[in-house]
Amino acid sequence: MLLKIYSVCVLILDLVMLFVAIAGTVLISMYRLFKPPSLKSLHNEVAMVIGAGRGVGRELALQLCQFGVAVACVDNNAETCTATVQYAQRLHGICRRYQCDVRDKYAVAHTVNLIRDELGDITMLFHCCGLPSPRALVQETSAVKDVMDLSVNSHFWLLDSVLPCMQRAGKGHIVMLSSVAGLSNGTSSGGTRVPLSTAQFAVQGLAESLHMELRHSNSNVIVSLVHIYPFIVGMEAAKDIRFRIPSYFGTMPAAEAARQILDGVRRNYIEFSVPGYLLYVGHILRILPKKASFMLRDLLDSGVDFA
């Protein structure tokens, strides 16, 4: 009897301590909404940017160079990747081009070894390829294997080669870019894009699992999951989108999206979105009953499959 009473008292004490800790964490999070953490310096970091040939990946590479980061621009398209490197070098940035198909495990390992030899151990990894655009969503149907290899499997090949570099350096930051499909799946009149949605959900799961594994191993490697909304694109794709609420849903230049991503990375945010306020909309969609979440999606529909 005494043992049972003791066990109940210990359980109650544990629950009280847990609730106090959760309340403290919530209060700190609310405080950080008004006073964000300070920005960390990126000087002398070595970043590997996958998909640096165009779009957000290109802008990330250029802006990282301006922060004093040595950037390895990786893309399967040698022409666009070369253009990014040449532009970065005109800005006096340290930048190298590496052509690689990240779907190929051995090509990834070879490329990482080249980067180590030329720039040093990689301390930052940005995965920007496989991110769907409105044009791709509306007009194209991708094969399941191609989507999974590019958007999901490539993460494993990169982590296998890059994590040892970060462990040697004693620090690291892994940044995974995901479509809003990582928060909620949706459909539009154009039809369902199940492979794309599934891939983005997988990226979110991978980021959460990797974060937990590194946390339990007391690693200094940080994992950031960034949700990119499909209408954050260049104006050349704007005709593919209809805006239900134009004042809230408009296009954003890739340069501004990259700036917001680096702002979140420099504050060591574990999860955030571009634009930032829409992360909370995604969380609400997951809490609401399914029928209610469908109604909210219809209201906020931007005309793309991941609305």
Q: What is the pLDDT of residue 245?
A: 52
Residues 259-288: tens digit of each pLDDT:
999 999 999 999 988 877 777 777 777 777
Q: What is the pLDDT of residue 236?
A: 42
- Residue 117 tokens, joined: 């030899």
Cα gap 151→177, rounded to integer Å: 10
Identify the residue whose tokens are 């000087």: 43
Q: What is the pLDDT of residue 227?
A: 86
Contact criterion met (CB below 8 Å) for 51 and 75: yes
pTM: 0.81
| Residue 277 maps to a domain | yes
Residue 223 identity (one-letter amino acid): V
CA angle 239, 286, 224 (to 5 degrees): 75
| Residue 137 maps to a domain | no
Q: What is the pLDDT of residue 131?
A: 55
| Residue 70 maps to a domain | yes
| Number of domain units in the chain | 1
Q: What is the pLDDT of residue 130?
A: 61
| Residue 2 maps to a domain | no
Contact criterion met (CB below 8 Å) for 144 and 271: no
169's CB contacts (< 8 A; 6+ apart) are 121, 123
Q: What is the pLDDT of residue 24?
A: 87
Q: Tell me the CATH number at 164.
A: 3.40.50.720
Alpha helices in 217-287 (DSSP H): 254-266, 278-287
Q: Which residues of the chain have pLDDT under 50?
A: 133-141, 182-192, 233-243, 247, 302-307
Cα gap 304→240, rounded to integer Å: 8
| Residue 165 maps to a domain | yes
**What single DSSP character describes residue 152?**
I
What is the residue range of 94's domain?
Answer: 40-132+145-300
Cis peptide before 36 (omega within 30 of 0): no
Q: What is the pLDDT of residue 162?
A: 95
Q: What is the pLDDT of residue 300?
A: 60
Residues 61-81: tens digit of each pLDDT:
999 999 999 999 999 988 999
